[in-house]
Amino acid sequence: MDGTTQFDDGFPSATLFSQGYSYTYDDVIFLPGYIDFPTDAVDLSTNLSRNISLSLPCVASPMDTVTESSMSAAMAALGGIGIIHSNNTPSQQASIVRSAKSHKIPFTADLIFLSPDDSIYSVDEFGSSPCVFVTESGTQGSKLLGVVSRSSWESLGNKEARVSDYMTKSPVSLPSSYNFEDVAGYLEAEKLEYVPLVNEEDGEAVNLVTSANVQSIKGFPKLGLPSLGPDGKFLVGAAIGTRESDKQRLEQLVKAGINAVVIDSSQGYSLYQTDMIKFVKRTYPELDVIGGNVVTTYQARSLIQAGVDGLRVGMGSGSICTTQEVCAVGRGQATAVYKVSSVAHEEGVPVIADGGIKNSGHFVKALSLGASTVMMGSFLAGSSEAPGTYEYNKDGLRVKRYRGMGSLDAMTKGSDARYLGDTAKLKIAQGVAGTVKDKGSVLKFIPYTMQALKQGFQDIGVSSIQSAHQHLRSGKLRLEVRTGAAQTEGGVQEGGAHGLVSYEKGKYF
């Protein structure tokens, strides 16, 4: 048997998704294809939007507990992109964008700043940092004057002295344009514990690299091609809403250097969104605009006609989103991705599958059903690069806060505009808040996830995302719906189908 004979096994996507059912990722399964290439031959390069290409199909969601400068820098270093959330002031969001774009290394440190007249009364003021920076204004946006190391402060006799009396003036620093290998080599050659990275234009301290950082990153899987713009800086996206004030927000973001803007709305089929899309394309024609969220073909056509360069697909499919439960509106994510991408493909508009990603198999399904990239929220939450500090819950687990942008917690900060509820007298939650356990660095677990994605592509017989789309549209890719028992059989269930009393589920090694 040469692997080319067609059997009447399974169903082509056009048949499966025309039966009136709303399927999630777990509802469907692909049948195996013919393998004639090694896993390493799988190409994961793709397009975020019409004019932005990525080497990995990974997008960090614009959520305030997921994507700020550290996450954005890490995703760009891996070959994906981060979308900076807008649950803040326009100047704060623009500052985060500038911070992410000013780096050439795959992380950003939490920097601590003081003015020359300040004093340090407790070691707690250092946080987890080995030093604090002293600048003219006591904030990041001014020239670096000196550095106070934790060890220097601890040996200080008079703890009430002003930092200007004992700081290290004109400290050793490196240009922020240095890449990770350059910085790591310098630290090793000079046998330094840490080195500040400084913006060459204005002398502003923008990052701190420690020898511990270097050792950690050297132990991670090798990074692929980073996502860089025409200016040689990391690609960074940002979210805005559909209100008139968002036009001023966008102006600040464009000045900060964003490469793409996401019109962030839970239901993108609105006059407000189409008007904003047209405004962006008219005012900033070189800026790629991504619309959404949509789940139907008629929603997709409306935004494509308005001029979008990309579409974000998903409504109520996220782990902390309750829109389908509260509002009875939405669509199963597998069906939504297939239906929207079928229309978007005709117009050359890439699709972002947003929500419902719990494992590498969901990546395989989202991309094989027509998406060009996958947006992650809970998948990245709890990582080292996610905003927030770690704490320990009552069971002793190390966790970080994670909340849906439709939660009342997030809405009090301004995200209610995303749900068109900022003018409503009563606020109705369409999401929840909670905690997720420590996942470590995305620089470690995303490469392993991508390797699992490559193996999934190999099993269905496709060597690239583009090839998967071709197989989908030609009917060569065959699918079936899984019963509840089949879903149980396909996973490890404690005391269930496989008879295990207990088990340990490792992600990678």
Helix axis angle, 297-306 relative to 333-346, nearest 10°?
40
- 96 — phi, psi (to 5°)? -65, -40
- 262 — phi, psi (to 5°)? -105, 120
175, containing H or E segment: strand 174-175
pLDDT recorded at residue 110: 80
d(CA 205, CA 220): 26
> Does 293 sit behind a cis peptide bond, omega within 30 degrees of 0 on the bond before it?
yes
Cβ contacts of 475 within 8 Å, gap of 6 or more: 12, 13, 14
Q: Which of 249, 312, 401, 418 is catalytic?
A: 418
- From the annotation, which residues make up the binding site for K(+)? 316, 318, 321
- From the annotation, which residues make up the binding site for NAD(+)? 264-266, 314-316
CA 14 to mean position of chain CA atoms: 31
Alpha carbon distance, N-terminus to C-terminus of the chain:
36
Q: Six-digit token pair at 59?
A: 């997008």
Q: Which of 131, 312, 321, 331 is catalytic?
A: 321
12, containing H or E segment: strand 11-12
pLDDT recorded at residue 403: 63
Contact (Cβ atoms closer than 8 angstroms) between residue 135 and residue 144: yes
Global pTM reads: 0.85
pLDDT recorded at residue 318: 58
Question: Locate tokens 């007249």: which residue?
Answer: 117
In a 13 Å sphere around the CA of 459, the CA atoms on its Cβ side amount to 14
Using a CB cutoff of 8 Å and minimum separation of 24, what contacts does 356-363 make?
356/24, 356/25, 356/314, 356/317, 356/318, 356/319, 358/319, 360/449, 360/452, 360/453, 360/456, 361/25, 361/456, 362/25, 363/57, 363/449, 363/452, 363/453, 363/456
Conformational region of residue 154, where left means phi above 0, alpha means psi within -120 to 50, and beta covers everything else: alpha
Per residue of the chain (509 residues), what is the pLDDT tens digit? Answer: 455 555 579 999 999 999 999 999 999 999 999 999 999 999 999 999 999 999 999 999 999 899 999 999 999 999 999 999 999 999 999 999 998 998 888 888 888 899 999 999 988 888 888 989 999 888 887 888 999 999 889 988 888 899 999 999 988 889 988 888 999 999 999 999 999 998 877 778 888 999 988 998 888 888 779 999 998 999 999 999 999 999 999 999 999 999 999 999 988 999 999 999 999 999 999 999 999 899 999 999 999 999 999 999 998 765 556 565 667 778 899 999 999 999 999 999 999 999 889 999 999 999 999 999 999 998 999 898 998 887 888 788 888 888 665 545 645 556 456 445 555 555 454 555 678 888 899 999 999 999 999 999 999 999 999 999 999 999 999 999 999 988 888 875 544 444 444 445 555 54
58 labelled catalytic: no
pLDDT recorded at residue 407: 46
Domains of the chain: 13-106+224-490 (3.20.20.70), 113-216 (3.10.580.10)
Q: Six-digit token pair at 110?
A: 């939490």
Q: Quick count: other Cβ atoms within 10 Å of Cβ 470?
A: 13
- Classify strands 131-135 and 144-149 as parallel, antiparallel or unpaired: antiparallel
Contact (Cβ atoms closer than 8 angstroms) between residue 387 and residue 66: yes
400, containing H or E segment: strand 398-403
418 labelled catalytic: yes
Q: Residue 291 forms beta bridges with which residues?
A: 311
Cα–Cα nearest to 28, from 479, 492, 490:
479
pLDDT recorded at residue 177: 85
- From the annotation, which residues make up the binding site? 264-266, 314-316, 318-319, 321, 354-356, 377-378, 402-406, 430
